[in-house]
Structure 1
């Protein structure tokens, strides 16, 4: 089993990071929908988990970007799709950074702390209403944009696999 990417296939580390982050992002996006339907107690418990997974995604993103830099340029891709792929991935990485950061700022503005699976990262403090409102709205808009980018990413993966015959799904599976 190859840890590093090759010209024909993503390495084990790249694949595990991709699929782990994809599952966590979908869990996070889904948890937003669940929290809207829950009562206060269940919502508070789920919010703590939501924040912890958001912090975990930030850490995984940092590792993934470092790993990608280490593996840069190994996979071959057709030149006519390279710019679109780079822009799409740049947008995904940007949202993977901006969504958790906006959530952390909203939590800070709310006066509630942020813990990483019980380990305090941001302590509780006074409510800063304008900060909370601005970044809650930003967080929600960015999450909705993430749904659109995920849809585009999935469509592009299937198009590369079956329409263009590039076997991109096999490289990532």
Structure 2
């Protein structure tokens, strides 16, 4: 069965409107036709093999998408330095980022950021050039919308590193320990019968 194999790369860039700067991604993709068996396992194997033979460049993401009639598999890998939080769980085309202040029951848009060109949003960093008073952020993409609260912007980093080896407890040999006890108490060694 024939399938379409896509290599999708996300390369970071910073976009700014004078009030905020946002880390966004530029999309570049290439695709070709591939031959697969008529099951999902062959799609997964093709995607995994393609990703392992074509790893992402440093400081970028790479997704491999394999699509056959009635089935689709997407596997991704990579990372970007300096990213603070995930704005949208699935990469999508950014429409706008709205900063909203809620007064009573009426939400008011304090500031709206629109990208200057077609951009992808996923994990990101928001930096403010001017002080904004807002209660929540609404991120809108072509696929979905998500509300983010201010305390979610800086999440604690997951520590990835080597675990320290535990120190082994030093045990004294029993003979030394019992001899020391005998000396203190003045008892003699008991014989077994």
TM-score between the two structures when normalised by the length of structure 1:
0.28
In terms of fraction of residues, the more strand-rich structure is: 2
Which structure has the larger Rg over C-alpha atoms? 2
In terms of fraction of residues, the more helix-rich structure is: 1
TM-score between the two structures when normalised by the length of structure 2:
0.26
